Amino acid sequence: MALIVQKFGGSSVANAQRVRNVASIITDTYKQGNDVVAVVSAQGDTTDDLIEKAAEINPKASKREMDSLLSAGEQMSSALLAMAIEAMGFPVVSLLGWQAGFRTDRHYGSARIKAIQPERLKAEIDKKKIVIVAGFQGLNSFDDITTLGRGGSDTSAVAIAAALHADRCQIFTDVEGVYTADPRKVEGARKLKEITYDEMLELATLGAQVLNNRSVEMAKKYNVEVEVLSSLKRVPGTIVKEAAKMEKMLVRGVTKDTDVARISIIGVPDIPGIAFKIFSKLAAMNMNVDIILQSVGRNNTKDIIFTVSKANGEAAVTALKESIDCLEGLDILCDTNVAKISVVGAGMETHPGTASKMFEALYENDINIQMISTSEIKISVLIDLASADRAVSAVHKAFFPVD
Ligand code: ASP
Ligand code: MG
């Protein structure tokens, strides 16, 4: 007998038929002699719909009231799922975040879980009940409802798995697992059996939207093995786990990120302190800077080029023009017609030649590289947006030949 935490995303419980399907996955697991805690997201687009409703009434609504509103989505789905299980004749109880012991910090809208007080959860499990928990929500020190940020139910599930030392944490979704590339777009993309936490984090940040980032960070911190699998097709998914327990793969996946703007500052004076001024200004504005490139100085000037998210592009240009004296009169350009293509794999640390293989694939397809950045487990290039899909396919084919 094992304790299994299962999480079902919004698309998995989108309508009555899907709620019943999820109920049967849960009860099948229970019938096999397991204890089950199931975490559920709001049905379908409920959260987006609630955000729209709020905007109709007050586009500047306080975050506190937004959290109170948005948590209702999970309140509904958790009760509905419990009703479906009741109808099948199984003992079940649904719990809201606060009833399940979720204590968070004060940050409405993107609260972090500080602790789970598991007594109630444990008591219900001891009574042999299937426990359904409303994901995405908790209670802060003012006894106010908080939410954990979009996609936060994954984190709720991993946190429960960690707090209860569950034997397994399964995240059910509408895809069958984590793939080497987007299977809808890239021919030959395959499902991975396993992936390390770090690789998953890179893939998540780079736009492979299977698991919420914070949930992977938490899984890594508490060493919770997470299985990502489909709620619609009962086949094995992908296991996210510690690197030490698995074979290193040279490249685990190829991703595309189109939420990128490239800022170029041309002809900056070649003196100390400029980079500091630029990047401390952006940091103060809470802007994440990704790839940074600085040219070698010539004629006492240099160029500094970097990327930020699309939404921050124009704001970065304006802020730099206005606030840094020595950039006055210089060309500061923002180009949003770019995309970042990355290969991710823990094995590249010990295998020279990964970068050249990637660059060769791009060259053979006549795709120009504008910027390059590397980390221990990732190589990213910035290219023209129009070539992005072609680039992903070409690079994917180089590392995962279609046979
Ligand atoms: N319902 C919330 C959202 O849509 C939380 C979640 O789905 O995990 O962001
Ligand atoms: Mg959702």
pLDDT digits (tens, 9 = 90+) for 338-361: 999 999 998 888 788 899 999 999
User: Ligand 1, residues 153, 210, 214: which to mutate, most atoms within 8 A of Cβ?
Assistant: 153
- What residue ranges define each of the domains in the chain, with the CATH number in brackets? 3-174 (3.40.1160.10), 261-335 (3.30.2130.10)
Mean pLDDT for 82-89 is: 98
43: CA distance to ligand 2 center in Å? 7
* Atom in ligand 1 nearest the alpha carbon of residue 152: 8
All residues at 6 or more sequence positions from 363 whose CB lies less than 8 Å from its CB, including other chains: none
* Atom in ligand 1 nearest the alpha carbon of residue 212: 8
* Atom in ligand 1 nearest the alpha carbon of residue 151: 8
All residues at 6 or more sequence positions from 51 whose CB lies less than 8 Å from its CB, including other chains: 66, 70
Among 112-126, 278-292, 343-357, the range scoring the smallest mean pLDDT is 343-357
Residue 207 has pLDDT above 70, yes or no: no
pLDDT at residue 208 in the model: 62
150: CA distance to ligand 2 center in Å? 7
* Atom in ligand 1 nearest the alpha carbon of residue 10: 7
Return the sign of the alpha-carbon dihedral for residues 107, 113, 118, 122. Answer: positive
pLDDT at residue 192 in the model: 93
pLDDT at residue 368 in the model: 98
41: CA distance to ligand 1 center in Å? 6
Give residue 16's pLDDT band: very low, low, confident or very high (50, 70, 90). very high
pLDDT at residue 402 in the model: 81
* Atom in ligand 1 nearest the alpha carbon of residue 42: 1
Residue 246 has pLDDT above 80, yes or no: no
Mean residue pLDDT of the chain comes to 94
Residue 169 has pLDDT above 80, yes or no: yes
User: Residue 134: nearest ligand to its CA?
Assistant: 1
CB-defined site of ligand 1, < 6 Å: 9-10, 41-42, 47, 73, 135-136, 150-153
Q: Whose CA is nearest to atom 5 of ligand 1?
A: 151
Mean pLDDT for 34-62 is: 98
d(CA 350, CA 177): 27
Q: Whose CA is nearest to atom 9 of ligand 1?
A: 150
pLDDT at residue 206 in the model: 64
Other C-beta atoms within 10 Å of 78: how many? 28
61: CA distance to ligand 2 center in Å? 20
User: Ligand 1, residues 69, 110, 150, 228: which to mutate, most atoms within 8 A of Cβ?
Assistant: 150
* Atom in ligand 1 nearest the alpha carbon of residue 154: 8
User: Ligand 1, residues 113, 136, 212: which to mutate, most atoms within 8 A of Cβ?
Assistant: 136
pLDDT at residue 183 in the model: 86
